[in-house]
A and B are shown apart, each in its own frame.
Chain A
Amino acid sequence: MQMIENKNFSRRKSVLQHPFSAFLLLGLFLSILQIIAIVTDGEWPRTSVINGFATVMIYAIVGYGFSFLLGYAGLASLGTAGFVGFGAYFTAYFLQANMPYIPYVVIMIAALVLSILLGLAVGFISLRIEGIFLAIVTLGISEVFYQLFNSWMPVTGGPNGARISEYPVFQSLLSMSPADSKRAFYFVLVVVNVLLMMLTYNLGKSRTGRAMLAMKNSSSAAQAMGISLLKYRLLAFLLSTAYAVLAGVLFMSYNRNTLPGNYNIMLSLNILAVVLIGGSRSLLGTFVGSFIVFGITPILFQNISFLNENAWIINVIIGIIIILIVMFYPGGLVQLFGSLKAQVLKLFRQRRGNPQQETAEPAEESNGEKANLESISAIRAQIAQELNSFGQQARNTGPGATRVAAADALPSDVILRLENLSMIFGGLKAVDNLTFDVKQREIFGLIGPNGAGKTTVFNCITQFYKPTGGNILYRTEDGQVIRLNDCQVHDIISLGIVRTFQNVEVIGELSILENLLIAAHAQCRTGLLKQAFNTRSVRLEEKHLREHAEKVIDYCGLTAVKDLHPVGQPYGVLKRVELARTLMAGAKLIILDEPAAGLNEQETMELTQLIHDIQRDFGVTIFLVEHDMGLVMNICDHICAISFGKKLAYGTPREIQNDRVVQEAYLGTREYSEEAQDVQHA
């Protein structure tokens, strides 16, 4: 009995905790307001209040779209006003009195389709511009729209504005009175608002949202994880455009008239404020932001005649709020509430005299005894078996025919071949005619003094740089030989090549577990619409990925920190997150850029063991650049030494150690190194 009650209780709790219930409650509240208004015939709440809430909803919709741009993709645009205006004027044009009848739904869909085309065109122009300049360029685009609204008299009505004859659907089809139609259309706004909140929430939580966040936090890591920057920037832009145009359509349908002056830069700034004030990734926050910016005056202050007549004061206050929030609470109201809540909870706990100590001890960082390392290694082998049985999702193996070289171009035991690779920056030859092979399933080391061009070689292999000469050939799992020069940087991961970075590149705004999910991005197959509706296939895929990621996390010894954010974690943990990411991606060739840089002796030992185990357990090839000679000599099967972009020597660790040329490059001239040896012998 008790148990059943508990179960019921927890179910009730989980229903309430489901984010959608908050959206539905909001929708219910907004509907009830209007119902009361209808029952009391506008006595309370007044029509101006209802219209105020309608405005809040319309601009909140623009805000939801904008949050993709600002909150997820990290792009600031000032073109929003132009797109809202486009939606409004488009609707106005086709619902004019002298137009033939066109169903409202058709107009809406046409507006959305056009908005996507428009967003594509504008996106292609503006997304070539980096970061903050995007705001300037989109501002220019918005100006073009404004001029159009203001000057194209026959279509837009020019400075006098546009007007539609009847409220769509309710008045034109159902022959309701204008006042009733307007009231009925309010409910359309509520429904669309709640629906878009849900879809936006789903998309934000989906791999699309994660990919955009990855792009915002580290464009290099995102590219290495198979995320096409252009694609996701464009997608964020398209989504925000579509939401803005839809809001424009709704605005026109509800208000029936509009003036071009509505769509100047102030509207774009206000939308920016809406998203910023609320918290750039919080939907309820965005709604509250919209309430503060657009709703306070008509809803709360309508009876305070002083503020009603001096609306400018509200705008000044909003300006001040924007500044304060950016400076002190970049996370918006959500962050403010979060820290307030934490403070209250802390007080509460202190009063109870029961401080809950957080005892998150990393599982396996106690001591560096060799025995301990070996036992961890044994546990890893077990987890690896489970991981291997997990099986990869179907990998994208569709490199175009042009990229496929003849299968016999590489001996079957070679996974990667550099042929006369050259990379020239201006007059500097960073890599000069470099040729070497990496064999299947070996640990291969690339060493050389600082500035030898090691990282450049990595960047050439992973296509961060396009080599200026030579070939890079790679044998995929199924035996195809591919010329990497012809691949794009975000395609590399789906060939099974995954890299880490010299200065760790992790996604600060995602938990460590979610950081791993990013690595599986290229394996996901579900489309955008499915993600928006969070269909069964999406949920299954997500569940499968999470289970997989949990295992990888266990394997890399990150279990204790998996739900924490990487910001502030020790370097050793972050390095392991990067390694875990390569495993999550199902890498066949793992490229490690100075894995031990910045680690202490203890951490280096653990990492060495981990690298060794990964090679053993998953049969992968590991290609690393490292300055820690102990590590390199310890684990590498073959080593290539380079200096000033040229190959010095290739061989086993022992051969490299005894190579005169290498010694010279590291220790100086021959005389000096001989002296040094003499001193050693003596």
Chain B
Amino acid sequence: MTKQFFWLDNLWIRVLQHLFFWGLSFYIFLQFFKTGAKAERIDYLYTALFQFSLLPTVYLNLKWLLPGFANKRNWLAYTFFILILISLFSWLNFQFFERWSVKILPDYFFISYFTWRQVAGFFIVYVAISSLLKLSKSWFRVNELQRQLLQSEKQKIQNELKALKAQVNPHFFFNTLNSIYSMALDKDDRLPGTVLQLSDLMRYFLYESKEDFVALDKELRVLNDYIALQKIRSDEKLLMEEKMEGEVKNERIAPLLLITFLENAFKHGNRTGSKMAFIKLFIRVQQGQLDFQVENDKGIIDKVETKENSGVGLENVKRQLELLYPGRHQLIIHNLADRFVVHLQLKL
């Protein structure tokens, strides 16, 4: 990762953290060790030396034992090594003040205040405190990481939804424009109305379908425009049955969901050659629940399929439903010998 993803990981901030820790520790030790009311030079020296002897244990633990064993849940090895570390360095500390300091620093006279076990106690406290600090820092880091992960996951779903949505077949528009062109050549009376229906539909597809949710009655109105345009294209060779129950108040729905099923029905149903084709549409809105059923007879169809319409339509809607209505929808598709029935239940 090139970007600094966590502010506490900045090198200077880390150096400052350590300086602050040892500074504070030095001050506390000094208060604790000093013999008189005011800290003497010897107290400073003693505190510094004592503190210095803690460094190897603390940093070996932080840099080597924790990442090497504790992080890998190898508790036995960790306990073993940390005990050795503490014993060894507290013993060295003890020996230093007890014996060697007289020889190395003959001008000063240190009295060893503590037994080895007490020194070891200090060591344990320091190892514990520094380990806990490190742990709390990793906890922050993990938290931050989780937050970022969650955000990118959300972004991914959003992008996926966007990609899934823009799937309305462009051929529909060009075929409708061709119908309109034909009417214009004939100066057909249906022309103005058809142009308005098409522009309503285009406005919906181009602008409003970008919203996550739209008013249900708008989606239903667009369904009607769509049906009207399809009827014009197929002339009187289509038997369309529409039934609507219940009352739409101010329910909202993800845009273009329903129209995809309808588009599918027209693509397959309206293709029985010179015979009549039928499409049945049933919609019921009741207590925040939408029942949507579309049924079409199956014509013999030779697939004219491209990347964008080869069954991807239905797959897309399924995925969209999973993302937008998890646990709140039921989609049943009956692929019968002569008919194709889609039944969708949605908790709005």
Q: A and B, one complex?
A: no
